[in-house]
Structure 1
Protein backbone atom coordinates (compact mmCIF):
# COMPACT_ATOMS: atom_id res chain seq x y z
CA UNK A 1 0.00 0.00 0.00
CA UNK A 2 2.75 2.44 0.95
CA UNK A 3 4.69 1.48 -2.19
CA UNK A 4 1.64 2.22 -4.35
CA UNK A 5 1.26 5.61 -2.72
CA UNK A 6 4.96 6.35 -3.20
CA UNK A 7 4.76 5.32 -6.87
CA UNK A 8 1.73 7.57 -7.39
CA UNK A 9 3.55 10.50 -5.79
CA UNK A 10 6.64 9.90 -7.92
CA UNK A 11 4.50 9.79 -11.08
CA UNK A 12 2.72 12.97 -10.06
CA UNK A 13 6.06 14.67 -9.38
CA UNK A 14 7.39 13.59 -12.78
CA UNK A 15 4.29 14.98 -14.55
CA UNK A 16 4.51 18.24 -12.62
CA UNK A 17 8.21 18.59 -13.44
CA UNK A 18 7.45 18.06 -17.13
CA UNK A 19 4.70 20.70 -16.95
CA UNK A 20 7.02 23.18 -15.22
CA UNK A 21 9.71 22.58 -17.85
CA UNK A 22 7.16 23.09 -20.65
CA UNK A 23 5.81 26.29 -19.08
CA UNK A 24 9.35 27.59 -18.57
CA UNK A 25 10.07 27.02 -22.24
CA UNK A 26 6.95 28.92 -23.25
CA UNK A 27 7.71 31.83 -20.93
CA UNK A 28 11.29 32.02 -22.19
CA UNK A 29 10.08 32.09 -25.78
CA UNK A 30 7.51 34.76 -25.00
CA UNK A 31 10.15 36.92 -23.28
CA UNK A 32 12.32 36.68 -26.38
CA UNK A 33 9.36 37.77 -28.53
CA UNK A 34 8.63 40.65 -26.15
CA UNK A 35 12.26 41.80 -26.32
CA UNK A 36 12.19 41.72 -30.12
CA UNK A 37 8.93 43.66 -30.25
CA UNK A 38 10.25 46.22 -27.77
CA UNK A 39 13.33 46.80 -29.92
CA UNK A 40 11.16 47.27 -33.00
CA UNK A 41 8.87 49.66 -31.12
CA UNK A 42 11.86 51.68 -29.93
CA UNK A 43 13.17 51.98 -33.49
CA UNK A 44 9.76 53.03 -34.80
CA UNK A 45 9.40 55.65 -32.07
CA UNK A 46 12.81 57.05 -32.98
CA UNK A 47 11.85 57.24 -36.66
CA UNK A 48 8.54 58.96 -35.87
CA UNK A 49 10.35 61.44 -33.64
CA UNK A 50 12.85 62.23 -36.39
CA UNK A 51 10.04 62.66 -38.90
CA UNK A 52 8.13 64.96 -36.55
CA UNK A 53 11.24 67.04 -35.95
CA UNK A 54 11.87 67.28 -39.69
CA UNK A 55 8.29 68.33 -40.38
CA UNK A 56 8.53 70.95 -37.64
CA UNK A 57 11.75 72.36 -39.11
CA UNK A 58 10.35 72.66 -42.62
CA UNK A 59 7.11 74.12 -41.26
CA UNK A 60 4.75 71.60 -42.81
CA UNK A 61 2.14 69.51 -41.14
CA UNK A 62 1.51 67.19 -44.07
CA UNK A 63 2.94 66.77 -47.53
CA UNK A 64 1.18 68.87 -50.18
CA UNK A 65 -1.05 66.36 -51.89
CA UNK A 66 -4.60 66.51 -53.04
CA UNK A 67 -6.98 64.29 -51.12
CA UNK A 68 -8.11 61.25 -53.07
CA UNK A 69 -11.66 62.60 -53.58
CA UNK A 70 -10.42 65.56 -55.73
Structure 2
Protein backbone atom coordinates (compact mmCIF):
# COMPACT_ATOMS: atom_id res chain seq x y z
CA UNK A 1 0.00 0.00 0.00
CA UNK A 2 1.11 3.52 -0.66
CA UNK A 3 0.83 6.25 1.94
CA UNK A 4 -2.36 7.48 0.25
CA UNK A 5 -4.07 4.14 0.80
CA UNK A 6 -4.16 3.26 -2.91
CA UNK A 7 -2.67 0.01 -4.11
CA UNK A 8 0.38 0.32 -6.32
CA UNK A 9 -0.09 -0.52 -9.98
CA UNK A 10 3.43 -1.91 -10.10
CA UNK A 11 4.79 -5.35 -9.29
CA UNK A 12 8.22 -6.11 -7.92
CA UNK A 13 10.35 -8.33 -10.15
CA UNK A 14 13.58 -9.72 -8.74
CA UNK A 15 16.28 -10.99 -11.06
CA UNK A 16 19.57 -12.61 -10.13
CA UNK A 17 22.42 -11.88 -12.50
CA UNK A 18 26.06 -12.89 -12.40
CA UNK A 19 28.08 -10.11 -10.75
CA UNK A 20 30.14 -9.44 -13.88
CA UNK A 21 26.97 -9.07 -15.99
CA UNK A 22 25.39 -6.70 -13.44
CA UNK A 23 28.58 -4.62 -13.30
CA UNK A 24 28.74 -4.35 -17.10
CA UNK A 25 25.07 -3.31 -17.23
CA UNK A 26 25.68 -0.72 -14.50
CA UNK A 27 28.56 0.75 -16.52
CA UNK A 28 26.56 0.82 -19.76
CA UNK A 29 23.44 2.40 -18.27
CA UNK A 30 25.37 4.85 -16.06
CA UNK A 31 26.78 6.45 -19.23
CA UNK A 32 23.18 7.41 -20.08
CA UNK A 33 22.50 8.61 -16.54
CA UNK A 34 20.23 5.76 -15.49
CA UNK A 35 20.44 2.75 -13.21
CA UNK A 36 20.19 -0.88 -14.25
CA UNK A 37 16.75 -1.34 -12.62
CA UNK A 38 15.43 1.81 -14.34
CA UNK A 39 16.81 0.69 -17.70
CA UNK A 40 15.39 -2.83 -17.39
CA UNK A 41 11.98 -1.34 -16.53
CA UNK A 42 12.18 0.86 -19.65
CA UNK A 43 13.18 -2.10 -21.82
CA UNK A 44 10.33 -4.26 -20.51
CA UNK A 45 7.84 -1.43 -21.01
CA UNK A 46 9.07 -0.79 -24.56
CA UNK A 47 8.81 -4.47 -25.42
CA UNK A 48 5.12 -4.44 -24.59
CA UNK A 49 4.21 -1.00 -25.92
CA UNK A 50 6.49 -0.31 -28.89
CA UNK A 51 7.23 -3.71 -30.40
CA UNK A 52 4.43 -5.02 -32.57
CA UNK A 53 2.47 -7.68 -30.65
CA UNK A 54 3.05 -10.38 -33.33
CA UNK A 55 6.80 -10.12 -32.68
CA UNK A 56 6.50 -10.42 -28.90
CA UNK A 57 6.36 -14.25 -28.74
CA UNK A 58 9.43 -14.45 -30.98
CA UNK A 59 11.34 -11.95 -28.85
CA UNK A 60 10.30 -13.57 -25.56
CA UNK A 61 11.25 -17.03 -26.88
CA UNK A 62 14.71 -15.75 -27.79
CA UNK A 63 15.11 -14.09 -24.40
CA UNK A 64 14.09 -17.28 -22.60
CA UNK A 65 16.51 -19.32 -24.74
CA UNK A 66 19.35 -16.91 -23.95
CA UNK A 67 18.57 -17.03 -20.24
CA UNK A 68 18.48 -20.84 -20.24
CA UNK A 69 21.77 -20.99 -22.14
CA UNK A 70 23.35 -18.53 -19.71
CA UNK A 71 22.12 -20.56 -16.73
CA UNK A 72 23.48 -23.77 -18.23
CA UNK A 73 26.87 -22.18 -18.89
CA UNK A 74 27.01 -20.86 -15.31
CA UNK A 75 26.13 -24.29 -13.94
CA UNK A 76 28.91 -25.89 -15.99
CA UNK A 77 31.41 -23.29 -14.72
CA UNK A 78 30.39 -24.04 -11.13
CA UNK A 79 31.01 -27.79 -11.51
Q: Which has the higher contact order (CA 8 A, sep 6+)?
A: 2
Larger Rg: 1
Same fold (TM over 0.5): no
TM-score scaled by structure 2? 0.34
Higher percent of residues as helix? 1
TM-score scaled by structure 1? 0.39
